[in-house]
């Protein structure tokens, strides 16, 4: 499964239901060279060229249930993620 938003195809998707954390990576997670936090508290991973390659969302299910979406601000531009039912729904 992959998730696409902000013109990025996150091809590695892992949701830890026990702690409600969603991990998204574009390519090999070890390519991350820098880290930051969005204003909403999400973890952002960047490659050596400054491109976003990873996103860690704490409380993903809780945010979707409460707000119907997850907002991530990248470089001062909010991006919404709202099509996560397949990822966050128990199998």
Q: pLDDT (tens digit, 0 to 9) for every residue of the chain, 91 residues total?
A: 888 877 889 999 999 999 999 999 999 888 899 999 999 999 999 998 888 999 999 999 999 999 999 999 886 555 677 778 788 887 6
Q: Distance from first CA to last CA of the chain, Å, rounded?
A: 14
Strand partners, 5: 8
Backbone angles phi, psi at 89, to 5 degrees: -90, 130
Q: What angle do CA 23, 59, 66 make, to 5 degrees?
A: 130
The pTM of this model reads 0.78
- Domain boundaries in the chain? 3-82
Is the Cβ–Cβ distance between 38 and 44 less than 8 Å? yes
Tokens encoding 38: 């969005």
Strand partners, 17: none
């Amino acid at each position: 499964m992959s998730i696409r938003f902000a013109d990025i195809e996150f091809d590695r998707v892992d949701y830890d239901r026990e702690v409600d954390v969603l991990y998204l990576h574009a390519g090999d997670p070890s390519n991350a060279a820098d880290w930051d936090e969005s204003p909403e508290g999400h973890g952002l991973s960047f490659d050596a060229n400054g491109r976003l390659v990873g996103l860690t969302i704490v409380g993903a299910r809780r945010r979707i249930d409460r707000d119907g979406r997850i907002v991530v601000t990248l470089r001062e531009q909010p991006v919404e993620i709202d099509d996560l039912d397949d990822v966050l729904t128990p199998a």
